[in-house]
Amino acid sequence: MPLRPAKCYTHFSGPPYTRREYIHGVPQPKITKFEMGNREMMEKAEVKGELIAIEAGQIRHNALEAARIAVNKFLSSSVGDMNFYFRIRVYPHHVLRENKMMAFAGADRLQDGMRQAFGKPIGTAARVYPGHVILEVWGREKDIEKIKEALRRGGDKFPIPTRIKIKKLAATGQVS
């Protein structure tokens, strides 16, 4: 299996660390918008594309923001802002911690090593499991290839393998 980027925070063990009322100094997630495009497309869309996680893992908030920008930019330039609706289905609840170590000359005499190694918050991540839908796009049937390409570009930003699933919808926006 080839090594993927962001391997330090991709895999997890143990319970999620989410209780922000007890955690001081958690940085805000970089992702600001979870829905883009024309919301009315949910009712009149002919197809729905989903980006689904294959393996369990954590997706950092900056990777979600990078995927949001890539998908939204491709869809708005290729199919138009009014012809798609795009939504991110996961939220970065899990707080990531890091025990910062000094890495300069002479640092060996200043470090405490593993003493009190709980770590300080450095960011947030969304935990996903196999079969979780990460991104969704609603659109027209003639734009299926562009929806697939947009989801592929978004999936390239994530440290876990993903697959794309396209569903045909009835005229009411429901799965047929």
DSSP class of residue 108?
Answer: G
User: pLDDT (tens digit, 9 = 90+) per residue, 112-141?
Assistant: 667 777 888 999 999 999 999 999 999 999
Count of C-beta atoms within a 10 Å radius of residue 123? 19
Query: Is pLDDT above 50 for 39?
Result: yes
In tens, the pLDDT along 133-168 reads 999 999 999 999 999 999 999 999 999 999 999 999
Q: Decide if 61 contacts 31 (C-beta within 8 A).
A: yes
> What average pLDDT does the segment 42-60 reach?
94
**d(Cα 22, Cα 38) in Å, to the nearest integer?**
38
Taking the C-alpha atoms of residue 87 and residue 26, their distance in angstroms, rounded to an integer, is 25
Which of 85-96 are b and which e, b meaning 16 or more Cβ less than 10 Å from the residue's Cβ? bbbbebebebbb
Q: What is the pLDDT of residue 15?
A: 86
Per residue in 64-103, pLDDT (tens digit) is: 999 999 999 999 999 999 999 999 999 999 999 888 777 6
Hey, how many other C-beta atoms are within 10 angstroms of the C-beta on 176? 8
- Domain spans of the chain, in order of start: 25-168
Report yes or no: 161 and 32 within 8 Å, Cβ to Cβ: no
Domain 25-168, CATH number (from 3.40.190.10, 3.40.50.10490, 1.10.10.60, 3.90.1170.10): 3.90.1170.10
Q: pTM here?
A: 0.84
pLDDT band at 171 (very low <50, low <70, confident <90, very high): low
